[in-house]
A and B are shown apart, each in its own frame.
Chain A
Amino acid sequence: MKNTSYKTILSKFGDEQGVTGVLKYLMLIVPAFVIYSCIEPFSPPEVNNVETYLVVDGFLNIGGDSSTVILRNTQNTNDDTPPVTEPGALIVAESENGESYTFIEMGDGVYKLPPINANTATRYRLSIRRLGGREYLSDYVQVSITPPIDSVSYKLDQGQNAMLIYVNTHDLNSNSRFYRWKFEETYEYRTAYYSGLERDFEKRQVVSRPEDVSLCWRTLESRDIKLGSTVKLSENIIKEVPVNVIRIESNKLLFKYSILVKQYSLSREAFEYWTDLAKTTQGTGTLFDPQPSQVTGNIKSKEDARELVFGYFSASTEATKRIFINERLGSYPRCSPPDTIEIADVFETTGVLLSYYQDPTGVSYLLSSSDFCSDCRAQGGTIRRPPFWQ
């Protein structure tokens, strides 16, 4: 953890204003520089590359759950639309001893394979035939058997003012000493105000709200690549490896919080791939920036081995564990006092309606507040209680 502390600090110099800034700034040290230097847009043909490449995102889940592979295309760096998905492809997982499992296209580039009870002693590869007929093959990969998660624990770190989530596991039989974790975190949260009313635009009336929009659950997936290995240890035991850091000020822990940790064993090659991928930042090519790294994966085009294909195919079992945290840390959301609206003006305003209000003189108003303060869905959650919620 010591590592992260200074790296974060230094990245301040590396990325935001810092060493890139040094160069830009150096021109400012003397008025002459200010006058003479200039920054202009630079978009050579190589940066506006229109060529796209296949991205294979997914893995073969051996035993247990279904497997998902998503096919997408790369995009131009300037393109801010969602990536183009790849329909109509034929995806087959093939084993060395001749078994094959064909994925079913679910639409939107998603291909699914129902749970299989495959042979774990053999090696698998992924074969992809795109709609236009171009074929791709991954390297054969060994099946990694994931040991069950022993426990997921948590501890409050006063210094960082954050809750740390740890995972513990051990595997005394397997050769695989590399792990990757993903998680899904879900937290319950409430808005500052309760909204009991809403506008019925058809009838042009204020009606009472049928559902409670002050209580929501939001689920987020892990975005960072969390890796661990026991090669340096004498025993294949993972003890208290942090997989997530929840900052207290995020208020995720104020009501109830749950995390589903997913664990995968990795081959060494897969581990190195993810390690390198984790290093590719959105950092760029200034004079003072580190050399960017080029990571592709283990999938190659059959016709042209030099064609870029992104993604790493691996085959493993999955182990999961869910815990709940009910520590009530953080502070209740605060909002500015509600506004009062004249009842006649209600359809000219946009605020979320809370309730009626009668001032001491007996005049009635409507109280309203912002989305953020009174409709929890505005913060990205859902009012539907997750099925696993306890």
Chain B
Amino acid sequence: MKLLLPLSVLFFSIFFSRTSAAQNVPGKKVTMHLDSSRFTDFVRQVESQTGYFFYYDASRFDSLTLDLDVKELTVREVLDQVFKGSEFEYAIDSQQRIYITQVQRIITQLPPGLFDPDYVGPSAVTYEGPENDAKEKLLSTAESKLHELGVKRHRIVPGNSTITGYVRNAVTGEPVIGAAIFIESPSIGASTDALGFYSLTIPRGRQLLKVKSFGMRETQRQVILYSDGKLDIEMRESVIALKEVSVKAGMDKNVVGTQMGTVKLTIKNLKQVPTVFGETDLLRTVLTLPGIKSVGENSTGLNVRGGSADQNLIQYNDAVIYNPSHLFGFFSAFNPDVLKDVELYKSTIPAKFGGRLASVLDINSRDGNKKKFTASGGIGLVTGRLTLEGPLIKDKTSFLLGGRSTYSNWLIKTLDNENYNKSSASFYDVNLHVSHEINEKNSLFLTGYVSDDRFRLYGDTLYTYQNQLASLKWKHTFNAKLYGVLTASHTKYQYSMGAAGLPLNSFDLKFDINQSNFKADLSYVLNPKHTLDFGLSTIYYKLHPGSFQPRGPESLIMPDELEPEQATESALYIEDKFEVSPRLAITAGIRYSFYQYLGPRNVNTYVPGYPIDYIYQDGVKEYGAGKKIKNYGGPEYRASVRYSIFDNLSLKVSYNTLRQYIHLLTNTMTISPTDIWKLSDTYIKPQIGDQISVGLYRNFRGNKVEVSLEGYYKNIQNFLDYKGGDSLIMNHNIEAAVLNTKAKAYGVEFMIKKMTGKLNGWVGYTYARTLLRAVDRESLDAPNDGNYYPSNYDKPHDFTMISNYRFSHRFSLSFNFTYSTGRPYTPPIGKYLIDGSQRVYYADRNQFRIPDYYRTDVAMNIEGNHRIKKLAHSSWTLAVYNLLGRKNPTSVYFQTIGGKVSGYQLSIFGQPIPTITYNFRF
């Protein structure tokens, strides 16, 4: 458009110049006084005082100010004075039109004698087109424009100044995260944060700012930096695919960053991995990464580097989510259409995170499209989803509303079986995300999420659970060096189980957990070598651990209710990213967390000198409302060091300690529908973990292929395991059912990753062990005589290959392979008669393993055509899950039938499962 303007002006003038024979129409004189006025003011005054009319590109003059004091001068004299020494040229045609251009002057007349074949004489006017190079530059006027930043001065004082601003997607207005902004000489760079914000300190003067981001077209800005200034940059996507890509992380981050054990997956990566029901599944894709395991195929409980499933901080737009799955693990709770990316930290956990031992899973939704309304969705075998997004205020406020639901109920009803007809299973989730830019320094983000699962068993028992979360984030830039994010969030998770089968035994069982968070995270760029991150957070927990009530007037159930629990968890942290030299970088931080378990509550007391067992409970101690029952707290150290051995090879070492004050109590193999969360109390101590990791990272082929090798060793104190045979539901002596253990986990993870090119994907191999040992080794309850035993998810060997080959822009093929050692189990190995009754005895805990697991999946993605103008963009996904049909045992169980104990293995997906999904966007 901008390119067309000068040209059209040119033709315009050519066309009309024929009619004007004479030039130099004597103009009126101009008199004006301007003091730091804008160029537009100058134009307006000239136009009002004379009959002249200006043609110019306003964007080139928006930063220009003028000081002018003229009296009774002609327009030409004034313009000469204004543009003297500048790169601007002007031309005046015969109809009193003034054309202002850069460098090249517009020719306002045709060569003399053009229409007179008899004319002989010099060709007075010549026109030279720009060089090819310059032509290229002109393609993007934003790139060719010289941006003047800061308070403009005649003389530039030597020294550094800071440019800040946002990098955004030119089409959607979404922030571009992890984009690299740099100048080449001297080599100084910065990258954008989670909000697309950057801050770069470079020498003043004229600079060429280059901007690169993976998946975006590289761009540059010419700037003259006078003093600290602001520059927002818009980038265009490099692919013509449908809008779905926004990839973070510098390409060489793997080698250059101090972060270890960090994996970022974008929605594009996620979409390439075939899943059982054809729908992109965040948690299942995360499970394919090295070091991450789960107990069974239907479970989305993540076991990261030997941690239990409750040791992962799963955050969705900064609000904690307690149950990240639907239908007890068959689907993950995240709608793929609203996701932007997920970042998993498993060894270096930044000091701003805390409260869980094993990992942080930071899930971010996209911002809605700020430019136009769009809708997208998908229809799969079991679920359907729809997402709407668009601007509320153009370029400032956008919304994103996504919903997903299953139609399995309808399918069940069509089954010709009475048992199934009485059953139902359904879920839905709704996401709302609103982002609003108040001004350059303030942005607000609001997220709401609700999920609901209902599941009825043969018309008798109804299980339901709900997640509700809301977060409000305010991002404020104080100045070029300091910015902060304030976040307030609230999370509620609840489940209930209602049985109405027999009126006499009908009951309702309920549990809920509420968490209110407030946190402030600040980042201060002390100087180019030091960046400080600091902040504080506080959480208030309120749990209702269980209520068991009769249902209906006939029920004979004795009502029972466990007392609510409440606690606060607060933390302060500071972390310094210190770039010692280009080769050596250190990140060191400390987080101090402090926990208070609060009344009102009655705490069980036990006979001194006896074990904590319900048989020794001798009473309760009463605590009033708000009274401190127990305090815990302590420092958590976070440190990591990177040393670049060569340009593309680095060695990293990291050490961290973490504390966890809330625990998921589960004495079953997987997370079961009735597991409860429990706060640390007088008896259940916080879990403390420390981990040391060492890794080697190397990138090949211009950062296209990343290879990493990481080893870790981890200790966990006060890890919870459970005494045999105790129930955790409605247990008034829950502290007596748990077993304090010490855990050690170690392993090696190897990964080759290639995320670009026609062939992309990753291959990972993990060797990992997780062993537990009772703290009180002499106790009768100590499993395996107090010796180390494998945890439920100890699967030493694990190999995963995720690959995708793009044949064309419209057709790609994915192939995945997974192998892992079978998980341990404890089989009954015999029975005996004692005291008149039969007892079954079991092998030592977790000494045997179920058969190994392996599975192959293929998927094919077919995109619709890429015409820009059409009603809807669509794509089809055809996939076959478990192509070889191996019957991988998900569960092994034993049943006593007629006095005989028989073993069975259950394979949930024991056959190839073909699926087809239709996705659309319009």
B833 interface neighbour in A21, A57, A289, Cβ under 8 Å: A57
Q: What 0/1 readout, one digit per residue, does chain A (34-57) give for beta carbons within 8 Å of chain B? A: 111111111110110100110101
A36 interface neighbour in B783, B839, B910, Cβ under 8 Å: B910
Q: Is A382 an interface residue (CB 8 A)?
A: no
Complex Cα spacing A86 to B616, Å: 38
Complex Cα spacing A124 to B828, Å: 33
Smallest distance from the beta carbon of B481 to chain A beta carbons, Å?
Answer: 53
Q: Point out the residues of chain B lying under 8 angstroms from A292, CB to CB.
A: 724-725, 826, 828, 840, 842
A277 interface neighbour in B299, B457, B825, B839, Cβ under 8 Å: B839
Given contacts A6-B557, A30-B408, contact A57 B839 (CB under 8 A): no
Complex Cα spacing A292 to B726, Å: 9
Segment at the interface with B among A127-135, A279-287, A365-373: A279-287
Segment at the interface with B among A69-77, A206-214, A252-260, A331-339: A69-77
Complex Cα spacing A14 to B673, Å: 11
B724 with A291: CB separation less than 8 A: yes
Q: Is B922 an interface residue (CB 8 A)?
A: no
Q: Is B832 an interface residue (CB 8 A)?
A: yes
Smallest distance from the beta carbon of B847 to chain A beta carbons, Å?
Answer: 8
Given contacts A282-B840, A290-B668, contact A22 B673 (CB under 8 A): yes
Q: Is B423 an interface residue (CB 8 A)?
A: yes
Q: Is B891 an interface residue (CB 8 A)?
A: yes
Complex Cα spacing A77 to B890, Å: 22
Q: Point out the residues of chain A lying under 8 angstroms from B616, CB to CB.
A: 229, 231-232
B669 with A57: CB separation less than 8 A: no
Q: Is A203 an interface residue (CB 8 A)?
A: no
Q: Point out the residues of chain B lying under 8 angstroms from A291, CB to CB.
A: 667-668, 721-725, 783, 826, 845
Q: What 0/1 readout, one digit per residue, does chain B (707-745) give for beta carbons within 8 Å of chain A? A: 000000000000001111111111000000000000000
Complex Cα spacing A182 to B415, Å: 52
Complex Cα spacing A286 to B895, Å: 9
Complex Cα spacing A296 to B784, Å: 11
B618 with A287: CB separation less than 8 A: no
User: A96-134: which have CB < 8 Å to B?
Assistant: none
Q: Is B909 an interface residue (CB 8 A)?
A: yes
Q: Is A19 an interface residue (CB 8 A)?
A: yes
Smallest distance from the beta carbon of A57 to chain B beta carbons, Å?
Answer: 5
B832 with A39: CB separation less than 8 A: no
Q: Is B295 an interface residue (CB 8 A)?
A: yes
Q: What 0/1 readout, one digit per residue, does chain B (822-843) give for beta carbons within 8 Å of chain A? A: 0001111111111111111111
Identify the closest chain B residue to A43 (Cβ): B903
B408 with A279: CB separation less than 8 A: no
User: A267-286: which have CB < 8 Å to B?
Assistant: 268-269, 271-273, 275-277, 279-286
A310 with B832: CB separation less than 8 A: yes
Q: Is A13 an interface residue (CB 8 A)?
A: yes
Q: Point out the residues of chain B lying under 8 angstroms from A284, CB to CB.
A: 828, 893-896, 901
Q: Point out the residues of chain B lying under 8 angstroms from A224, CB to CB.
A: 837
B836 with A6: CB separation less than 8 A: no
A30 with B673: CB separation less than 8 A: no
Chain A interface size, as a band, is: 35 or more
A47 interface neighbour in B669, B673, B827, B891, Cβ under 8 Å: B827
User: B277-295: which have CB < 8 Å to A?
Assistant: 277, 295
Q: Point out the residues of chain B lying under 8 angstroms from A287, CB to CB.
A: 295-296, 299, 668-670, 672, 890-891, 893
B724 with A20: CB separation less than 8 A: no
Q: Point out the residues of chain A lying under 8 angstroms from B893, CB to CB.
A: 20, 284-287, 289
Q: Is A225 an interface residue (CB 8 A)?
A: yes
Complex Cα spacing A9 to B508, Å: 11
A293 with B832: CB separation less than 8 A: no
**Most-contacted residue by chain A among B298, B507, B729, B834 (CB, 10 A):** B834
Q: Point out the residues of chain B lying under 8 angstroms from A19, CB to CB.
A: 668, 672-674
Complex Cα spacing A227 to B567, Å: 37
Q: Point out the residues of chain B lying under 8 angstroms from A78, CB to CB.
A: 900-902
Given contacts A23-B298, A55-B833, contact A288 B839 (CB under 8 A): no
B902 interface neighbour in A14, A38, A41, Cβ under 8 Å: A41
User: B535-584: which have CB < 8 Å to A?
Assistant: 548, 556-558, 560
A52 with B458: CB separation less than 8 A: no
Smallest distance from the beta carbon of A247 to chain B beta carbons, Å?
Answer: 14
Q: Point out the residues of chain B lying under 8 angstroms from A31, CB to CB.
A: 411, 415
Q: Is A328 an interface residue (CB 8 A)?
A: no
Given contacts A23-B298, A80-B899, A287-B668, contact A294 B910 (CB under 8 A): no
Given contacts A37-B909, A271-B615, contact A286 B674 (CB under 8 A): no
Q: Is A165 an interface residue (CB 8 A)?
A: no
Q: Is B306 an interface residue (CB 8 A)?
A: no
Q: Is B465 an interface residue (CB 8 A)?
A: no
B844 with A23: CB separation less than 8 A: no
B328 with A22: CB separation less than 8 A: yes
Q: Is A175 an interface residue (CB 8 A)?
A: no
Given contacts A47-B903, A288-B668, contact A29 B845 (CB under 8 A): no
Q: Is A32 an interface residue (CB 8 A)?
A: yes
B423 with A28: CB separation less than 8 A: yes
What is the number of residues of chain B that contact chain A, defined by CB distance less than 8 Å?
Answer: 106
Identify the closest chain B residue to A272 (Cβ): B780
**Most-contacted residue by chain B among A40, A223, A282, A295 (CB, 10 A):** A282
Smallest distance from the beta carbon of B886 to chain A beta carbons, Å?
Answer: 12
Complex Cα spacing A57 to B839, Å: 12
Q: Point out the residues of chain A lying under 8 angstroms from B725, CB to CB.
A: 276, 279-281, 283, 290-293
Given contacts A19-B674, A294-B844, contact A49 B829 (CB under 8 A): yes
Q: Is B478 an interface residue (CB 8 A)?
A: no
Given contacts A28-B423, A52-B830, A293-B724, contact A77 B848 (CB under 8 A): no
Complex Cα spacing A229 to B458, Å: 42
Smallest distance from the beta carbon of A325 to chain B beta carbons, Å?
Answer: 23
Q: Is B911 an interface residue (CB 8 A)?
A: yes
B833 with A25: CB separation less than 8 A: no
Given contacts A74-B830, A290-B726, contact A21 B457 (CB under 8 A): yes
A6 with B845: CB separation less than 8 A: no
A221 interface neighbour in B721, B723, B836, Cβ under 8 Å: B836
Q: Is B228 an interface residue (CB 8 A)?
A: no
Q: Point out the residues of chain A lying under 8 angstroms from B890, CB to CB.
A: 23, 287
Q: Is B889 an interface residue (CB 8 A)?
A: yes
Q: Is B129 an interface residue (CB 8 A)?
A: no
Complex Cα spacing A5 to B904, Å: 31
**Most-contacted residue by chain A among B507, B668, B725, B844 (CB, 10 A):** B725
Q: Is A344 an interface residue (CB 8 A)?
A: no
Complex Cα spacing A310 to B831, Å: 10
Q: Point out the residues of chain A lying under 8 angstroms from B420, CB to CB.
A: 28
User: B658-684: which have CB < 8 Å to A?
Assistant: 667-670, 672-674
Q: Point out the residues of chain A lying under 8 angstroms from B906, CB to CB.
A: 23-24, 37-39
Q: Is B412 an interface residue (CB 8 A)?
A: yes
Q: Is B755 an interface residue (CB 8 A)?
A: no
B907 with A38: CB separation less than 8 A: yes
Q: Is A308 an interface residue (CB 8 A)?
A: yes
Q: Is B23 an interface residue (CB 8 A)?
A: no
Smallest distance from the beta carbon of A111 to chain B beta carbons, Å?
Answer: 15
B830 with A75: CB separation less than 8 A: yes
Complex Cα spacing A39 to B891, Å: 10
Complex Cα spacing A249 to B582, Å: 86
Q: Is B913 an interface residue (CB 8 A)?
A: yes
20 CB < 8 A contacts A-B: A13-B461, A19-B672, A29-B412, A32-B277, A37-B907, A37-B910, A38-B906, A47-B829, A55-B832, A75-B830, A75-B832, A223-B837, A280-B841, A281-B725, A284-B901, A286-B892, A287-B891, A287-B893, A288-B672, A295-B841
9 closest cross-chain pairs (CB), A and B: A293-B724, A279-B725, A77-B901, A284-B894, A286-B893, A29-B425, A42-B905, A232-B618, A287-B669
Binding site for A on B (CB under 8 A): 277, 295-296, 298-299, 327-328, 330, 381-382, 408, 411-412, 415, 420, 423, 425, 455, 457-458, 461, 463, 497, 499, 505, 507, 548, 556-558, 560, 607, 610, 613, 615-619, 667-670, 672-674, 721-730, 780-781, 783-784, 825-845, 848, 887, 889-896, 898-911, 913
